Amino acid sequence: MGKYFTAYRIDHILGFFRIWELPAHAMTGLVGKFRPSIPLSQEELEKEGIWDFDRLSKPYIQKKFLEEKFGDFWPFIASNFLNETQKDMYEFKEDCNTEKKIAAKLKSLAEKSLLLENEDKVRRDVFDILRNVVLIKDPEDARKFYPRFNIEDTSSFQDLDDHSKNVLKRLYYDYYFQRQEDLWRKNALKTLPALLNSSNMLACGEDLGLIPSCVHPVMQELGLVGLRIQRMPSESDVKFGIPANYDYMTVCAPSCHDCSTLRAWWEEDEERRQQYFKEVIGVDEIPPSQCVPEITHFILRQHVEAPSMWAIFPLQDMMALKEEYTTRPATEETINDPTNPKHYWRYRVHVTLDSLLKDTDLKSTIKNLVSSSGRSVPAGEDIIKSQGEVRANGSTKPNP
């Protein structure tokens, strides 16, 4: 590929620091853990006054939870999936104690017409009961544990005493946001060079969103270019990125293939649109409901004038510079929706290449954006004349 391209993009560069690992029997992602990672040890938990590991690492199933989730349907769930261990307390039967086993059991019940409707909802609800844990026991070492993702959302956590809640919240934050940093840094410095040294192409790492603090220093050390999408700032305390503040070692863009286009993003949320209009554009007025060409021009200009090494624009965003090309519903312009397995890479341009080539107005607008930013100087008589003047003046600086 290096024969044809100058640079390549590493999708989800975080995967070179750590991965999210799931057991083979899982069908959803909540019961995973980071690999590599430093788990919570039994000794560490006991020093903090946490000792009932069976209670914390096994599904916490009370009758009241079943009634709340399944209503009058709860006896059917209990009789088919659960055993009562003590009064009003249950555990899963051996033949349905994993997500894959539950799915198989539900399919069998449906085939026997014992499950009349809402099989998908029942599956989700039974999965919720199975995942109602606070700690995940390490399958390779019973004295090591991992806090379940979003433990505070579980009724198992909510039913704990205040001391246990406070300790586990602190250890949860430590596991997900602190103790792994040095380990992940070392892992990336071991794995990434193998990729980077295999080609002379410039490597760009997709580092969007809130990421561990070890990522950017490693990318800087290895000479990796980062990505910046204005609607997905890396700072936790801002709503929108400010292109003027981006580093040189970045690629900036108003949108990308995995999100809605600039026009669709503008139109889908009135409150966010108003906030952007006030905070970024600096106008304390009601913004237009449509992403009119003037709005598009302002946002694209922010990006071409950014310090970023490259500014890259989806064709849809550049076509929004002209009202003539915005007749198609904006929602149809998204290239890929990662949340929808049936929506992928089906976008097709609704105008011909020939018509775009003949559109002197659009080409002129884009050319002026680029040239006025200082990123490029249009070739032609002006540049030849400028070079001649520089040589005549004996100066190494180009004329304004």
- Please spell the DSSP secondary structure of 322-354, one letter per residue: SGGG--S-GGGG-SB-TT-TT-BS----SS-HH
Query: Is residue 37 within 8 Å of residue 185, measured between CB atoms?
Result: no
- Alpha carbon 305 to its chain centroid, in Å, reads 26
- Kindly state whether residue 209 falls inside one of the protein's structural domains: no
Read off the tokens for 31.
Answer: 């019961």
How far, in Å, CA of 318 to CA of 323, rounded? 11
Q: Are residues 251 and 309 in the same domain?
A: yes
Does the pLDDT value for residue 301 go beyond 80?
A: yes
* More confident: 359 or 385: 359
Q: What is the pLDDT of residues 2-54, one digit of tens each?
A: 999 999 999 999 999 999 999 999 999 999 999 999 999 999 999 999 999 99
pLDDT at res. 319: 96
Task: Check pLDDT > 60 for residue 398.
Answer: no
pLDDT at 238 over 90: no
Choosing from 130, 149, 181, the residue where a domain stops is: 181
Final residue before a domain boundary, out of 153, 181, 209 = 181
CA distance 334 to 261: 6
Question: Which residue has tokens 């965003």?
Answer: 317
Average pLDDT of the residues in 118-131: 92
Whether 150 and 260 map to the same domain: the answer is no
Owning domain of residue 376: 224-393
pLDDT tens sequence across 159-199? 999 999 999 999 999 999 999 999 999 999 999 999 999 99
Query: pLDDT at residue 136 above 50?
Result: yes
Q: How confident is the model at residue 396 (pLDDT cuts 50, 70, 90)?
A: very low
pLDDT tens string 52-110: 999 999 999 999 999 999 999 899 999 999 999 999 999 999 999 999 999 999 989 88
pLDDT of 346: 82
Structural domains of the chain, count: 2
**Does residue 219 lie within any of the structural domains?**
no
Backbone angles phi, psi at 330, to 5 degrees: -60, -30
| pLDDT given for residue 116 in this prediction | 60
Mean pLDDT for the stretch of residues 147-165: 96
Is residue 294 one of the residues assigned to a domain?
yes
- Amino acid identity at 124: R
In a domain, 31, yes or no: yes
Q: Are 301 and 369 in contact (CB under 8 A)?
A: yes
User: Quick check: is 7 in a domain?
Assistant: no
Residues 299 and 362 in one domain: yes
Domain membership of residue 277 (yes or no) is yes
**Confidence bin at 395 (pLDDT 50/70/90):** very low
Domain membership of residue 52 (yes or no) is yes
237 assigned to some structural domain: yes
